[in-house]
Amino acid sequence: MHSTLYWLLILLLFLSCAKMEEQVPAIQISIDSTVRPVKLLEKYNIPPTKINIHTQANANFPKFNYSQYIFDLSGVNNSYCHPDVLYFPEGFQGYEYWMVFTPYFGKVGQDYFSKRYENPSIVVSHDGLTWDNPPALRNPIQACPSVKESFREMKGESIQGFWSDVDWIFRNDELELYYRGSCILQQALMKRGAKSLNNRKKLSQKNAIRNIVRQTSTDGVNWTALEVAFTSNFPSTPKDNHLISPSFIEVNGDVVAYEVEFDWQTKRYGSFEKTHVIQRHSKNGLDFSPFKECKQVNFVNAPWRENENLGIWHLNVCYVSGYYFMTLSVGRIAKYTSDLLYLAYSKDGLNFYVDPKPVMTENAYRSAIFPMKVLNDQITFGGIWGNKLGEFYYSTWDVNLPNLSNNSFLPKSN
């Protein structure tokens, strides 16, 4: 009797400590509210022009090839979502523009079956307007998870895992591609993934609702087996958070990641009314900060705060000339969507100042910006603007560095 009571008390103490540990918030950084925002896009060099992608969407499970689940994405079939672009002035494998995206919206739609098409796909271009598969590559590079590889997130839903939210960097002469897997069994990730100590370690807990995985390539065509970077299990997030729209950059040799999380600071944890952006770090691109070491990102002049129902839904980040630049798609979080698109910049990567004029005012979704040229005091950016019709638009513009380097515009060091 006494032995049973003793072990019961130990169990209760363990559960209580674990619960307390899970509630540790990300580190809050003091806000510098004295800085005014800068206009980051005053005029286009190339105005937004609709692009065309010649590749296929494929909703087949692994080892299947039913033609009714495959279709061309070009022209009126546009179904483009979640872009991220790398630009190589001298070309990489013969192409200046490399883009990763997932088929969604448009012809693919956005119903429950549509998530089977949302697989990482890679295309290349010489002009940013016409895109094709890299020679010898067939999209997608990762097939849709089968029902046997999946589990149900919420009661009443069909069982179907899916991929989403792609992003990549070029580091150490290779592409590092990250994306999110949702509702995929650990044993399925182990089977698809590298037979590594990293995967054995990170896939040894309960099934995580969300996993951020990485694949690498030296040529953009041949890809390594996936490795798990982090999951929604503790200690990476408290209470299985969403890991929305993770974006990765290289800063001084380290990999810095940003993501959108639902509110973890109130008793209504998991509230669909608020989101926050957090920053993680990694030395090797695989082992990232646990949640308690993540830092919460500040948006000093966030224009969307005028409407309490709006919040950040997706983001994309790039780093150039010592500055961090971010796109923010903003909308009604309770409806899992966005409509507005803003640009923001930061010197320290934690205090961001938002151009008060949105780039898009309706139907906006995750979009990407990327540096193309730095000449004297000017950065030329390219942008791929995404919308909920499944369309991408390409444009370029310049940002003058003196506007950013003026001390009155920079966050004070902590």
Measured from the Cβ of residue 194, the count of other Cβ atoms closer than 10 Å reads 16
Q: Is the dihedral of CA 143, 147, 152, 155 positive or negative?
A: positive
CATH code at 114?
A: 2.115.10.20
Would 134 be classed as within a structural domain? Answer: yes
Neighbours of 28 (CB within 10 A): 11
Give mean pLDDT, residues 244-265.
91
What's the whole-model pTM score? 0.91
Total of domains in the chain: 1
User: Do the strands 130-132 and 52-54 form a parallel or antiparallel pair, or are they unpaired?
Assistant: parallel
What does DSSP assign to residue 160?
-
Query: Do the domain assignments include residue 162?
Result: yes
CB 361 within 8 A of CB 338: no
Q: Each residue of 321-336: pLDDT tens digit?
A: 999 999 999 999 888 8
> Minimum mean pLDDT among 94-98, 154-158, 160-164, 198-202: which range?
154-158
Give the phi and the psi of residue 91 in degrees, each rounded to 5.
90, 150
Select from 202, 201, 299, 236 the least CA-distant residue to 24.
236
Alpha carbon distances (Å) from 67 to 56, 143, 360: 11, 15, 37
Nearest C-alpha neighbor of 104 from the set 180, 191, 169, 188? 180
pLDDT for 107 beyond 90? yes
C-beta separation of 139 from 183 below 8 A: no
Do the domain assignments include residue 186? yes
Q: How far apart are CA 243 and CA 238, in angstroms?
A: 11
Q: Which residue do the tokens 């640009």 mark?
A: 343
Q: Which helix (H) or strand (E) holds 3?
A: helix 2-22
Give the type of residue at 112: Y
In a domain, 206, yes or no: yes
Does residue 48 fall inside a structural domain?
A: yes
| Residues 359-376, mean pLDDT to the nearest whole number | 96
Q: Using the predicted structure, report yes or no on whether residue 373 has a pLDDT greater than 60.
A: yes
Residue 46, class by beta-carbon neighbours within 10 Å (0-12 exposed, 13-18 middle, 19+ buried)? middle
Domain holding 84, by residue range, is 27-409
For 113-123, the pLDDT digits (tens) are 999 999 999 99
Q: DSSP states of 333-360 as a string?
A: GGGT---EEEEEEESSSSEEEE-SS-SB
pLDDT the model gives residue 21: 46
**For residues 84-91, average pLDDT:** 98
Q: What is the DSSP string of 162-230?
A: EEEEEEEEEETTEEEEEEEEESB-HHHHHHHS---HHHHHHTSSSPPSEEEEEEEESSSSS-PPPEEEE
Sheet holding 121-125, edge to edge: 52-54, 130-132, 121-125, 95-103, 80-92
Q: Which residue has the higher pLDDT, 242 or 19?
A: 242
Per-residue confidence (pLDDT) for residue 33, from 0 to 100 = 67
Is 10 inside any structural domain?
A: no
Residue 250 falls inside a structural domain = yes
**Does the pLDDT of residue 92 top 60, yes or no?**
yes
Domain membership flag for residue 16: no
- Residue 291 above 50 pLDDT? yes
CA distances from 268 to 26, 148, 271, 307 (A): 17, 33, 6, 20
Asked if pLDDT for residue 40 goes beyond 60, the answer is yes
Cα 27–Cα 202–Cα 152 angle in degrees, nearest 5: 95
274 touches 263 (CB < 8 A)? yes
Residues 144-191: tens digit of each pLDDT: 999 999 999 888 889 999 999 999 999 999 999 999 999 999 999 999
The CA distance from 180 to 163, in Å, is 6
Q: Is the pLDDT of residue 260 over 60?
A: yes
